[in-house]
Amino acid sequence: MISIITILILLACVALAFFILIQNPKGGGLTGSFGSMSSQVMGVKQSSDVMEKGTWTLLGVVGGLCIISVFFMQKPEGATKTNNTAKQTSAPAKK
């Protein structure tokens, strides 16, 4: 199960990187490429809103999957509780 969640996290990270990289920090990005056609029916004016919502959504997905993955992790074999007052098996060294 943890491998499936890890693959989903990686896919969401790739998609998140795509959303972040196609945005221009000065408001250009995909919208700047079609600046003269902003009054069309589909309109590229809304593309920045879609990219911003996609970024936040994927950020939430990655965070949620990371939290969920903790519940499916297994403890290592030697990670059992040990008693600190265990009996000593060998005699102390003599001076």
pTM of the shown model: 0.58
**pLDDT tens, residue by residue, 64-93:** 999 999 998 888 877 666 555 556 577 777
Q: What is the pLDDT of residues 14-44, one digit of tens each?
A: 999 998 888 876 655 555 555 554 444 455 5
Scored b (16 or more CB within 10 A) or e, 22-58 reads: ebeeeeebebeeeeeeeeeeeebeebbeebeebbeeb
